[in-house]
Amino acid sequence: MGDYPSRSVNATAGDLAATSSRGQGAGYGASPSNHNEPPLGGGGALPKKSRFSIETGFRALSTASGAMVLVIIVAIAVFLIYKALPALQANTGHFLTQFEWNPNDATPSFGIAAIAFGTVLSSIIALLVAVPVALSIALFLSHYAPKRLATPLGFVIDLLAAVPSVVFGLWGRDVLQSPVRDFSLWLNEYFGWIPLFGGNGPFGQSILLGGLVLAIMVLPIITSLSREVFQQTPGMNEEAALALGATRWEMIRTAVLPYGKPGVIAAVMLGLGRALGETIALAMTLSIKFDISFNLIENGGNSVAANIANAFGEANETGRGALIASGLVLFTITLVVNMTARAIIYRRREFRDNAA
Amino acid sequence: MAKRIEASNVSSYYGSFKAIDSVSMTVEPKTITALIGPSGCGKSTFLRSINRMHEVLPGARIEGSLTIDDQNIYDPDVDVTAVRRMIGMVFQRPNPFPTMSIYENAVAGLKLNGVKKKSVLDEAAEKSLRSANLWDEVKDRLDRPGAGLSGGQQQRLCIARTIAVQPQVVLMDEPCSALDPISTLAIEDLMFKLKDQFTIIIVTHNMQQAARVSDKTGFFSIEKTGDPGRLIEYDDTQKIFSNPSQKKTEDYITGRFG
Amino acid sequence: MSVLEKQVPGVVMTPDNIRSRKLPVVTNVVIAVAAFAIAAAIVLGLDIGNWVLVAVFGAAFYLIGLSVVAGRIEGKRAARNRTMKALIYTACVLAVLPLISVIWTLVTKGLARFDADFFGSSMNNIGARDANGGAYHAIIGTLEQVGLATLMAVPVGVLGAIYLVEYGRGKFAGTVRFFVDVMTGVPSIVAGLFVYTFWVLGVSPIFNDGRPQASGFAAAMALAVLMLPTVVRSTEEMLRLVPGPLREGSYALGVPQWKTILRVVLPTALPGIVTGIMLAVARAAGETAPVLLAAGGLAAINFNPFEGGQSSLALFVYQQAGDGSKFAPDRAWTAALTLVALVLILTVAAKLLARRNKLSR
């Protein structure tokens, strides 16, 4: 340790860039106890900061890597637009309102309305099912379960998030389909007068099945994020509610839920983003149709992403262009949804940090 | 309205750790009782066991009996939420609900109890805020967030919130330790005023405060870290601060210990 | 002026009314049994469904019965508390059910073709009537694509995180951080389309006599796009956990910042970073859509990720699931089992590593 103090007295974090290229500590004139390096500069000028050093190079490299994210997002937009334009120009129908999807014909005619409708409908079903369940689990993990139970259950939920979507798709098609078909038949028999559950079948490979599979897939995201915000509720506010004579549920309603609301909204939006963009699970569970129907239980349904996966292989150049155009729409929608969700989270974080 | 509290041989545990050892004391109605003692001596634990708030922590349990007007609040058929409504609590750091306005904070307890009528809530809000000496300062901005008030105002808002549900007893856990001297004085004035209606028990680190506000004082202490806290002496404040009967109390009061 | 001039009815508690009756456990059980019995009677009696419907109806009846009975005995507030608790517990059971079903099906159906042939052969020249055929080519594809994707995403991701933690100040760093988060939400199919337009249509013709060519490398690029934000986020989090004094100690010795980062900060955070990378790899290995678009899929074995199409385990599952052959579902489930095993081993290992990490909060 003998020769360190004299250097550490002079060097501070701020000086680092200045000394980096010449080796450390070389120029700090007075270093009497340093026997290895002869003092340079003879007590005179400090070494100049050089313009090109490893330090600047490393800094530039990491900055470029950080910027890469922005480059990729811009590049996605640019390349999708570039390849979608020719197909959109060749389109004889109206891209936004047309129901049909015939981009491979000699006179291509296609519109995104039907598939966009399917995407939205399946996502709504998924959220309707997943959000209450996810919030319940999050509350259970944060406020009900003893730690011995909360840790393994949280782990299981994380594992649920790790299962690939193609496996859920396969499971939905081979396993979940038959109970859903039974349920659909039942709904159709007793509630067939409601348009949602009408129709003459066949049932099963429906938007309901797709929505349920999606629900299972977005569940872990919403759960883990909501759990986090619920756990952040200040303990003293929970105690305040309890001291007023609140039951556990009343405490949650008074202190936990209002505090976590923005975070929960953001979590739901992230779940929505995932549901909107999910491809393979829907491609495997829906029986692709191009129409707008509110019937939830009859075979049918479609989504932007599933349509791309299904139709890509057989599409010609215009067909692929059309699919790319629909992908561009999907990209834009998910980008907006995600940006909104993240903006909420960021604002909340700032608010919390300022309050603390 | 205010009630007599009787603790006999109250011992409190967190899991296998014994936090306080057989504390017995009687608190008369419409008095202010101060609990003093060094950190970790169990005075807060004792305070929290009076309205069963210590049960919030897992593994917490209690031995002995705690009665309010001869009703043991630890009887198995007693509703813990009812106990907490009867015995209100004000905490160390002001903790108004951050998502609620001043008005909503003041009537939060009533709303929990299912009071929905606007006229009742309005009246209760004004009364409790007036009782907490806060009305004149906030009457023009009742719809603003409670978290926007100053620390002292927030603490008075918390007191208003506590007394709005018309408890019998008000427990205060170092209510002024996070406040400046002027706010502290305001809270102390308020305590004198509330004494007419409530039984007040206050935990404080500030011995001058205990001497200023309380009728009776209990001194808690521990032998060493890990030992349970004990009630060393409990007597009129006057006597504790002028002529304590225990050597330990005297040492603590005169600053030779803790 | 007194708060107590007038008592608000139903609010004030006195020592005389603090006692309440509690719902006996027996009653709770009786309600549950009755609810499921009635549900079974209705569903099976009218023959309108199977056990799933019985369970759903039973749970609903139980919750309704519980809130009504508890409301009578314990009062409205306690009953509401009890009902919400029951609802929350029910939801937890509900969420674990599909996971159990998935795992059960994976094991029972997946073991059918879990043999040497499956792991040793491809789908080349396998017709609809052939019972054999395997996923060897797909496993190669998955390993190569994920490996290449990791090689691309990890350096950029780690350096990006270093920028955010060590160098990034001001508005630009804030923007980068925001879009890293946003990018985690980019759908995998969009990443696939991007690489298809950019690499397959745009760049690959240069190396292939002007004809666009799908390849494993293209798929790897798409996977890297999906991995990048995950790697940046987890690395950033880990770097932030490295205590400041550790850096300052190094600075104080006159070590330049880049060397401090590489020699002190990164090694300290390494276990956490590796955990994050493993989770990102696990996610990438399960992606189907990007491989479908960028690598195209191929039934034969192709070791070269830079030339010609490739398959992957996930894509294999998808393609076999859509195949009409009666032997295809078995192959799909075995491949799914293999894929899940791979992903779960990675995930569990990553979590265990994270648990041993000294820096974790």
Q: Are residues C85 and C124 in the same domain?
A: no
Q: Are residues C325 and C210 in the same domain?
A: yes
Q: How many CB atoms lie within 10 A of CB A266?
A: 24
How sure is the predictor about A268, in pLDDT bands with cuts at 50, 70 and 90? very high
Q: pLDDT tens digits, residue range A210-267?
A: 999 999 999 998 998 899 889 988 888 999 999 988 889 999 999 999 989 888 988 9
Give how far B160 is from chain C: nearest CA, Å.
10
Question: Which ipTM was obtained for this model?
Answer: 0.87
Kindly state whether residue C37 falls inside one of the protein's structural domains. Answer: yes
Kindly state whether residue C1 falls inside one of the protein's structural domains. Answer: no
Interface chains of chain A (3 or more CB pairs under 8 Å)? B, C
Q: pLDDT tens digits, residue range B223-252?
A: 877 788 889 999 999 999 888 888 888 888
Q: Are residues C37 and C127 in the same domain?
A: no
Report angle CA C127, A312, C333 to the nearest 5 degrees.
45
C-alpha closest to that of C168 among A70, A63, A20:
A63
Q: Are residues C204 and C224 in the same domain?
A: yes
Q: Are residues C131 and C91 in the same domain?
A: no
Q: Which residues of B touch C71 (CB under 8 A)?
A: none
Give how far A129 is from chain C: nearest CA, Å.
11
Chosen domain end from C89, C112, C135: C112
Q: Do the beta carbons of residue C225 and residue C191 sit within 8 Å?
A: yes
CA distance A121 to A98: 18
Residue C340: CATH number of its domain:
1.10.3720.10
CA distance A185 to A182: 5
Backbone angles phi, psi at B72, to 5 degrees: -75, 120
Chosen domain end from C70, C90, C112: C112
Q: Model pTM greater than 0.90?
A: no
Mutate to test the interface with A, among B90, B99, B115, B161 (most CBs of A within 10 A): B99
Chosen domain end from C91, C112, C133: C112
The chain C residue lying nearest A321, using CA atoms, is C197
Q: pLDDT tens digits, residue range C36-56?
A: 888 888 888 877 767 777 888
Kindly state whether residue C361 falls inside one of the protein's structural domains. Answer: no
Q: Please tell me if residue A69 touches chain C, with a CB cutoff of 8 Å.
A: yes
Tell me, what amino acid is at C238? M
CA distance A115 to A96: 10
Q: pLDDT tens digits, residue range C288-326?
A: 999 999 988 888 888 888 888 899 999 999 999 888 788
Q: Are residues C143 and C258 in the same domain?
A: yes
- Number of domains observed in the structure of chain C: 2
Mutate to test the interface with A, among C80, C97, C258, C339 (most CBs of A within 10 A): C258
Mind listing the domains of chain A with CATH numbers? 5-43 (no CATH), 101-355 (1.10.3720.10)
Q: Are residues C125 and C247 in the same domain?
A: yes
Mutate to test the interface with A, among C54, C77, C88, C145 (most CBs of A within 10 A): C88
Residue B167 has what DSSP assignment?
-
Q: How many CB atoms lie within 10 A of CB A12?
A: 12
Q: Please tell me if residue A173 touches chain C, with a CB cutoff of 8 Å.
A: yes
Q: Domain of C91? A: 19-112
How sure is the predictor about A77, in pLDDT bands with cuts at 50, 70 and 90? very high
For residues A242-252, b (16+ Cβ closer than 10 Å) or e, as one string? bbbbbbbbbbb
Q: Which residues of A touch C259 (CB under 8 A)?
A: 20
Kindly state whether residue C296 falls inside one of the protein's structural domains. Answer: yes
Q: Are residues C37 and C175 in the same domain?
A: no
How sure is the predictor about A45, in pLDDT bands with cuts at 50, 70 and 90? low
C-alpha closest to that of C150 among C293, C19, C306, C283:
C283
Mutate to test the interface with A, among B90, B97, B174 (most CBs of A within 10 A): B97
Alpha helix stretches (DSSP H) within chain C: 25-45, 51-74, 76-110, 116-120, 136-162, 170-183, 188-195, 204-207, 216-241, 244-252, 257-260, 266-285, 289-294, 313-321, 328-356
User: CB–CB of B82 and A245 under 8 A?
Assistant: yes
Q: Which residues of B touch C82 (CB under 8 A)?
A: none
Q: Which fold has domain B30-253?
A: Rossmann fold (3.40.50)
Q: Are residues C335 and C203 in the same domain?
A: yes
Kindly state whether residue C320 falls inside one of the protein's structural domains. Answer: yes
Q: Which residues of B touch A245 (CB under 8 A)?
A: 81-86, 109, 112-113, 165
How sure is the predictor about C142, in pLDDT bands with cuts at 50, 70 and 90? very high
Q: Which residues of C touch B114 (CB under 8 A)?
A: 10, 76-77
Kindly state whether residue C4 falls inside one of the protein's structural domains. Answer: no
User: CB–CB of A258 and B93 under 8 A?
Assistant: no
Shortest CB distance from C232 goes to which of A11, A69, A176? A69
Q: Are residues C93 and C168 in the same domain?
A: no
Residue A55, pLDDT score: 86
CA distance A263 to C276: 23
Shortest CB distance from B165 goes to which of C11, C22, C76? C11
Residues within 8 A of C (CB atoms), A 97-136 only: 132-134, 136
Q: Are residues C153 and C182 in the same domain?
A: yes
Interface chains of chain B (3 or more CB pairs under 8 Å)? A, C
Q: Three-state SS for B88?
A: strand
User: CB–CB of C53 and A182 under 8 A?
Assistant: yes
Residue B78 has what DSSP assignment?
B
Taken as a whole, chain B contains a residue count of 258
Q: Do the beta carbons of residue A231 and residue A143 sit within 8 Å?
A: no
Q: How many CB atoms lie within 10 A of CB C312?
A: 34
The chain B residue lying nearest C23, using CA atoms, is B77
Q: Which residues of A touch B159 (CB under 8 A)?
A: none
Q: Are residues C154 and C302 in the same domain?
A: yes
CA distance C282 to C294: 19
